[in-house]
Chain A
Amino acid sequence: MGVRELSCSLAMAEALKEEMEQDETIFIIGEDLTDHGGIFGQFRGLPQQFPDRIIDAPISETSIVGTGIGAALTGMRPLVDMHFADFVTTAMDEIVNQMAKIRYMSGGQAKLTLVLWAPDGGCINAAAQHSQCLESWFVHTPGLKVVVPYEPADVKGLLKAAIRDDDPVIFFQHKRLFNWTGPVTEEHYVTPLGKGKVKRRGTDITILTYSRMTYECMEAARELAKKGVQAEVIDLRTLCPLDFDLIARSVKKTHHAMVVHEACLTGGFGAEIAARIGEELYDHLAGPVVRVGAKDVPIPFSPVMEKYVLPQITDILTGVDRALKR
């Protein structure tokens, strides 16, 4: 079987097609899905192939998520399209008080087999209410799994795993990556949740990242190599469950760690990783665990300001200097 170049959008559509063909309990609900196959083309072809299973709902994230939860409680496997991750705010009760807690509260009677799919991130000059990375809110909510893929092959494999998973999964995909392409095998496969991936081997520092920042970190690693610093770049892929074993193995080798994410710095997921590395791997560290994230402001509209707010390769490079205490 061959390997094709697919965009993240097409990889996603293919994952859904394969899953929907073999499991009739899967349906998709959200806003504006059928006319053009989702705002990023992520459902292309599906409305034609599964006309009753991809549903245009009124603009009510509250009830769209509620519908997903209620249907999941009967054994269905809905994928709920949030349109933009920023709109989770209008369904926070459903996500935080219902979706995350029902299984536990019911003493394990219920399975919450749904995927809440949410395109996130900035760099499209869409300003403060359409540009956020909100993953840390949900990692901070026990009961939710959180997936943050970077490349098309992972979008496909992880989405399939998320759909098959018996727990609620929040699946973030960066808006900027939808038309980015990458190799995807024609073979059917599932990528397990909770496994990070070493994107580049190195011995001098471990750079932990996910989603769009994986690209920036890889670019930074190439720059570092020119200066003789070999960075190991790890794409975490899922934040909950977190592959801390992989992190630990790498940090024990490099003795330096850094976390890079697009979400704003304070209270971001980087803080959690840095704290855990500090607690559990203290003896292996030869320098501070450095975090790089967006500046702590709402994302401004002005492209000049937005660029300044979001982490750039230069920020990663100066972060490495701080980590290596150079």
Chain B
Amino acid sequence: MKISKDLKTDLYKRMVRQRTFEDETTKIFAGGEMPGFLHLSQGEDAVAAGTCANLDLEDAIYTTHRGHGCIIAKGANLKPMMAELFGRIDGCCKGRAGSMHFADVKTGCMGSNGIVGEGMRLAIGTAFAQKYKKTKNVTAVFFGEGATGTGAFHESFNMAATLKLPVIFVCSINLYAQMTHKSVHIAVENVADRAAGYGAPGVTIDGNDVELVYSEVAKAVKHARDGKGPYLIECKTYRHHGHFEGDPCNYRPEGELEKWLKKDPIVLYEKKLKKEGVLDVKAMQTIREATQKEIDEAVAFARKSPQPDVEELYKDIFA
């Protein structure tokens, strides 16, 4: 697939935005200013960027507890996102969600989920509505390899295949479900092989190659928009941070992280873009600085946002 210069720049910018945002939250969390739990996706950036670059604003995504990258790639506004992580009233969910239950419905971010696998069940409903209303829109649902153990995965994939629903199942294989290695709970080498059992296509790809993710998801999106049903894309990648911020990661074999850091999707892409003459060092620097500025503004916005007023407590329980 031919990828234009503009698109290449766009893919790069998405990844830098995701990464810079998450790196900033790492610092703020370590400083004790951010409550709760933080599950970050540095290292898996190309999966989110490559997928979401195929989606329109009206397309939907469902994310997991590790959803920041996908939500940013889909186009959510960083200020209310950051305020949400601080638990403040100007957060996209008024401080009620935090990191794990983020939603920004107007940009098609239908919801992160604290219940592993559940996003897949909801995704098929959204895809059903898209099909029913003849919109040509699609739903992408992100999940980790751990979630492929749930009934939610098997049942949703089967249902999407039988009802020919426009869902793109994007599995980010980051090797660990919490502290447990993939080999402990998955008996096949490639989970994409399972798609055949439900009568739908599945592919396994290098999840750190953002252009590859982009072009494979492009096929899946076309398949879905053409009314042919779901598609499973398995992206092999790695999370640089622990399961949650503060996880000592004792379960990682020595040298594993270092090996993967060499395959950092952003570093790889910078090399490629330089070699191809798409962006030079200076242009990349400019992008990084502009992004940092945007994120600094988001942090300042979040810090200034007031705590939710307890008077608001009973709002939104019912419509």
Partners in one complex: yes
A binding-site residues for B, Cβ under 8 Å: 31-32, 35-36, 39, 56-60, 62-63, 86-87, 89-90, 124-130, 295-298, 300-305, 308-309
Assuming A130-B114, A300-B308, A305-B310, is B96 touching A60 (CB within 8 A)? no
Does A126 lie within 8 Å of B310, measured CB to CB? no
CB neighbours of A300 from chain B (8 A)? 95-96, 308, 313
Main secondary structure on A side of the interface with B: loop
Q: How far is the CA of A63 from the CA of B185 in the complex (A)?
A: 13
Nearest CB of A to B81, in Å: 13
Q: B100 touching A302 by the CB < 8 A rule?
A: no
**B33-50 interface with A by 8 A CB criterion:** 35-37
Q: Which residue of B lies closest to A308 (CB)?
A: B310
Closest Cβ of chain A to B146, distance in Å, is 5
With known contacts A301-B95, A301-B96, A32–B87 Cβ distance under 8 A? no
B101 touches A301 (CB 8 A): yes
On whether A125 and B179 interact (CB within 8 A), knowing A59-B117, A87-B115, the answer reads no
A59-B146, A90-B115 in contact; A305/B177 too (CB < 8 A)? no
B225 adjacent to chain A (CB < 8 Å): no
B101 and A128 contact, CB distance less than 8 A: yes
Q: Are A58 and B149 in contact (CB under 8 A)?
A: yes
Kindly identify which residue among A31, A58, A296, A301 contacts B97, using a CB–CB cutoff of 8 Å: A301
Q: Which residues of B contact A (CB under 8 A)?
A: 35-37, 87-88, 93, 95-98, 100-101, 113-117, 146-147, 149-151, 177-180, 184-186, 250-251, 307-308, 310, 313-314, 317
Contact A60 B307 (CB under 8 A): no
Q: How far is the CB of B275 from chain A (nearest CB, A)?
A: 41
What A residues does B98 contact at CB under 8 A?
125, 127, 301-302
- Least distance between B35 CB and chain A CB atoms (Å): 4
Known contacts A126-B37, A129-B114, A297-B314; decide if A59 and B185 are in contact (CB<8 Å): yes
A301:B313 contact, CB within 8 angstroms: no
* B114 with A35: CB separation less than 8 A: no
Given A62-B151, A89-B115: A295 in contact with B313 (beta carbons within 8 A) = yes
Of A90, A126, A130, A301, which one neighbours B87 at CB under 8 angstroms?
A: A301
Bound: A90/B151 CA distance, A: 9
Q: A35-B180, A87-B115, A127-B98 are in contact. List 13 more A-B contacts (CB 8 A).
A: A36-B251, A59-B146, A59-B150, A59-B185, A62-B150, A62-B151, A127-B96, A127-B97, A301-B36, A301-B96, A302-B35, A304-B310, A305-B308
From B113, which residue of chain A is reached at the shortest CB distance?
A: A129
- Please, how many angstroms separate the alpha-carbon atoms of A305 and B88 in the complex? 10
- A90, A127, A305: the one within 8 Å of B313 (CB): A305
Cα–Cα, bound, A302→B312 (Å): 12
Task: Contact check, B96 vs A302: say whether CB atoms are below 8 A apart.
Answer: yes
CB-defined contacts of B307 to chain A, threshold 8 Å: 302, 304
Q: A35-B251, A302-B88, A303-B87 are in contact. Are A59 and B147 (CB under 8 A)?
A: yes
Interface pair B96/A59, CB less than 8 Å apart:
no
Pairwise interchain contact A58-B115, C-beta atoms closer than 8 A:
no
Q: How far is the CB of A44 from chain B (nearest CB, A)?
A: 14
Which listed residue (B35, B150, B313) contacts A309, Cβ 8 A?
B313
Cα A57 to Cα B36 with chains together (Å): 26
Nearest opposing residue in chain A for B115, CB measure: A129
Specify the chain B residue showing the minimal Cβ separation from A87.
Answer: B115
Residue contacts A-B, CB under 8 angstroms, 7 given? A59-B116, A128-B101, A128-B114, A129-B114, A130-B100, A304-B87, A309-B313
